[in-house]
Amino acid sequence: MIIQEMTMTEFEEGLKKTQTIIVPVGTTEEHGSHLPLATDIIHVYEMVKEAARRIGVFIAPPIFFGLCRSTRQHPGTINVSGDTFRSLVRDIVRSLYAQKMRNFIIISGHAGGTHMSSLTEVGELLLNELPEVNIAVVSLFELIEKECLDVIETKRDGHAGELETSLILYSKPHLVKGLGESSYPQIPPYFLVRDKRRYWPTGVWGDPTKASAEKGKRIFDIAVDKIVNLKKELEKFKG
């Protein structure tokens, strides 16, 4: 049940079937010269929509903005502050809770550390505020990491690399402009640097040249199965 496509009557009827909702979160940020800026939200949104075709669950409108610490100086990246991001997610959950939603899966296509810790912080605060709420917070890559070891060839694959390029080749091939090049950031450990692009000019972390639509489909199917199972587990959870 895709919320932005429903009428208020359909929404009300849907609540009789389930009080579980998936909130897809991503970013608008650079993904090299070959992938669209909205890569992080494109693939996770396609996955949760497919999950909704298999099981009864609401899908919230996607959140296109997040925390982009390492890429915020690259062309096209739209970064928001931690306060703005946390407030947005918190208010969305509060509003949906007021509409009788009770089980929330917040799944992010962006796995940046500050981004994910902000989502977890919001979830913990909401647990204390909303007495009947159940919340799961997870990045796509946490969800599928082990299973993808059999699919992805690139060691230390990350941003705009083999995995993400494969997913977009499968779900939105017309948005892929070539396959980029193998590259890894050279940001010094522990140091906070002002000029991010100096140490990461390509914006790629991994080897997108090894990507394929076939790999993308395998990863996509793994992820959808994981999302379906997560929904079932959350509804049984008594935290």
pLDDT in tens, 56-114: 999 999 999 999 988 889 999 999 999 999 999 999 999 999 999 999 999 999 999 99
Q: What is the pLDDT of residue 160?
A: 95
How many structural domains are present in the chain? 1
Q: Domain range spanning residue 55? A: 3-236
Q: CA–CA separation, 28 vs 208, rounded Å?
A: 19
Residue pLDDT, tens place only, 192-211? 888 989 999 999 999 999 99
Give the model's confidence band at 23: pLDDT under 50 very low, under 70 low, under 90 confident, else very high.
very high
Nearest residue to 65 (alpha-carbon basis) of 13, 23, 16, 29: 29
Give the model's confidence band at 237: pLDDT under 50 very low, under 70 low, under 90 confident, else very high.
confident
Q: CA–CA separation, 219 vs 164, rounded Å?
A: 10
Assign residue 170 the CATH number of its domain: 3.40.50.10310
pTM: 0.94
Q: CA–CA separation, 201 vs 74, rounded Å?
A: 8
> How many residues are there in the chain?
239
Distances (CA, A) of 107 to 94, 166, 182, 196, 197: 17, 19, 28, 27, 28
Q: Round the average pLDDT of the chain to a whole number and report it.
A: 94
Question: Is the pLDDT at 177 greater than 90, yes or no?
Answer: yes
On whether the CB atoms of residues 57 and 21 are closer than 8 A, the answer is yes
Question: Is the pLDDT at 189 greater than 90, yes or no?
Answer: no
Q: Is the dihedral of CA 227, 171, 52, 88 positive or negative?
A: positive
Q: What is the pLDDT of residue 203?
A: 92
CA–CA–CA angle 141, 126, 107 (5° rounding)? 20
Q: What is the pLDDT of residue 20?
A: 97
